[in-house]
């Protein structure tokens, strides 16, 4: 964007400078013509009517050139104002972009931290789940062993009861 603004500004300045330069050259040429006429008048080679006619044409041309110069100057200032406006807008956009970049960096940092935390907690959760499964198996095995021992104890009692005579 900044390059485009520079190019536009340069093109406008170049055009205005070319116009101003051309207008000045024309003014210089007219002044030369006027001096030539004045010299001719002084030398009495040119009649007074012709001199007045040239003087009038010169004045008209000079006024036109001054008017054109004023218009070009106005255009130049308008273009300068527009260029300044675009420059200001560009700066504002750059500032906004930098703010967004900073916010994005912050969010990325937070996201990385959360991912790291999730990995740590995820590993811990997996380990806890494995421990839970292991404990559940141990519990199940213990329950089975306990039932087996209860059955064994129950059989041993029955066997002992049978051997002991009943008292009457």
In angstroms, how far is the first alpha carbon of the chain from the final one? 116
Q: How far is CA 24 from CA 15, 30, 65, 66, 138, in A?
A: 14, 10, 8, 10, 105
Domain count, the chain: 1
Task: State the chain's maximal CA–CA distance in angstroms.
Answer: 179
Does 71 or 147 have the greater pLDDT score?
A: 71
Long-range contacts of 13-16 (CB under 8 A, 24+ apart): 13/76, 16/72, 16/73, 16/75, 16/76, 16/79
Q: Is residue 166 part of a domain?
A: no
Q: pTM here?
A: 0.38
Q: Is residue 165 part of a domain?
A: no
Per residue in 25-82, pLDDT (tens digit) is 998 998 998 888 888 777 765 566 777 888 999 999 999 999 999 999 999 899 999 9
Q: Is residue 167 part of a domain?
A: no
Per residue in 90-118, pLDDT (tens digit) is 999 999 999 999 999 999 889 888 888 87
């Amino acid at each position: 964007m900044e390059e485009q603004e520079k190019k536009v500004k340069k093109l406008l300045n170049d055009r205005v400078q070319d116009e101003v330069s051309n207008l000045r050259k024309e003014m210089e040429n007219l002044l030369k013509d006027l001096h030539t006429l004045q010299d001719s008048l002084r030398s009495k080679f040119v009649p007074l009517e012709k001199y007045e006619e040239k003087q009038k044409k010169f004045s008209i041309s000079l006024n036109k050139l001054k008017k054109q110069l004023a218009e070009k100057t106005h255009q130049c200032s308008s273009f300068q104002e527009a260029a300044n406006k675009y420059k200001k807008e560009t700066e504002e956009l750059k500032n906004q972009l930098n703010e967004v970049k900073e916010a994005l960096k912050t969010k990325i940092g937070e996201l990385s931290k959360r991912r790291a935390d999730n990995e740590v907690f995820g590993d811990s959760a997996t380990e806890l789940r494995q421990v839970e499964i292991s404990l559940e198996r141990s519990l199940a095995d213990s329950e089975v062993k306990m039932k087996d021992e209860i059955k064994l104890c129950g059989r041993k009692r029955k066997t002992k009861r049978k051997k002991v005579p009943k008292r009457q």
